[in-house]
Amino acid sequence: MRAVNRSSWPVWVGALAAFSGLMVWHRAPQLSIAPSFVTGYILFALVVFLALYSGRKRLSMLPVGKASVWLTLHLVGGALALALFWLHVETIWPLGTADRALAVLFYGVCLSGVVGYGLQLWLPGRLAHAGREIIYERIPTEIATIRGQVEKEILEAAGESGNDTLGREYLETLAWYFAQPRFFWSNALGGRSAEHWLQRHLTTIGRYLTEAERVHLARIAELGAEKRRADAQYAMQALLKRWTMFHVPLAVAMLTLAVWHLILVHVFAR
């Protein structure tokens, strides 16, 4: 789901109107209450609401609204929280060690959220064009099956030719590639490092083989292409699953420090 579409426009407009009204009030002269207290409490309440989205994802079976609505509210709320943060501290980079630590965590949550949302927009389309989709948990089994087929080809080549050249070359170079997912970031970002690496080594190995062995090497090249597609599936699905491993802990740390900040403000305000 995209953050800005026809159905989400009212939420964005409402958030912009609310922030505009708060900003006008914040700059009004002779306020009876310190504006930083009000903006701080509103920001804290908004952050708590944003944290509820993680619980909504884990309890998707509960009838608490559509996931698309929650996502829209989370995205709009995140943008509003960033604007409120700047309004609250009245600067991009606050003074004081504790305030700066809170700012680092806040910006880290915002940045990881933007990156995660970008991945959710970008990667599903690439996954759809990356060949047969493999369930994430079954990718290691798929790679093990491919590796077993490669080793079978090597044994057959040795039996037919009486040479162990292909077997030795496999152990020295190709075994590393077929052992587990490789070239994670290249595959995740759409690079071709794995393809180039495999082609270069297969070409080098082919120079030392007989015609009979090259038949099996051609089959290994096909299996290598299958392995490359499985690696791409693994890399993209892993990014979609693991970006929250940064976002959620940062959010928890930020919320914890925000509670401590709130306590200190009340203690020293007396």
The percentage of the chain sitting over the pLDDT mark of 90, rounded to a whole number, equals 55
pLDDT of residue 29: 66
pLDDT of residue 121: 87
pLDDT of residue 61: 57
- For the cut 80, the answer to whether the pLDDT of residue 16 exceeds it is yes
Euclidean distance between the first and the last CA atom of the chain, given in angstroms as a whole number: 47
- For the cut 80, the answer to whether the pLDDT of residue 113 exceeds it is yes
Q: 129 vs 145, which has greater pLDDT?
A: 145
pLDDT of residue 223: 97
- For the cut 80, the answer to whether the pLDDT of residue 60 exceeds it is no
pTM for this entry: 0.79
Q: Which two tokens stand for residue 219?
A: 């089959």
Counting other chains too, the contacts that 163-169 makes at CB distance below 8 Å and 24 or more residues apart are 163/210, 163/213, 165/208, 165/209, 165/213, 166/205, 166/209, 166/213, 166/216, 166/217, 169/205, 169/208
CA 259 from centroid of its chain's CA atoms? 27
DSSP-assigned letter for residue 137 = G
pLDDT of residue 269: 61
CA 47 from centroid of its chain's CA atoms? 21
- Taking residue 56's Cβ as centre, other Cβ atoms within 10 Å add up to 17
- Whether 57 and 122 have beta carbons less than 8 Å apart is answered as no
Calculated CA dihedral for residues 153, 155, 156, 157, nearest 10 degrees: 80
Nearest of 226, 243, 221 to residue 181 by alpha carbon: 226
Residues contacting 228, CB < 8 A, separation 6+: 187, 194, 195, 198
- Whether 230 and 144 have beta carbons less than 8 Å apart is answered as no
DSSP states of 144-166? HHHHHHHHHHHHHHHHHHS--HH
CA 80 from centroid of its chain's CA atoms? 22
Residue whose entry in the numeric block shows the structure tokens 């509003």: 80
pLDDT digits 0-9 by tens, 76-105: 999 999 999 999 888 899 888 888 999 999
Q: How far apart are CA 172 and CA 201, in angstroms?
A: 11
Rg (CA), the chain: 27
- For the cut 60, the answer to whether the pLDDT of residue 191 exceeds it is yes
CA 104 from centroid of its chain's CA atoms? 20
pLDDT digits 0-9 by tens, 197-233: 999 999 999 999 999 899 999 999 999 999 999 999 9
- For the cut 90, the answer to whether the pLDDT of residue 2 exceeds it is no
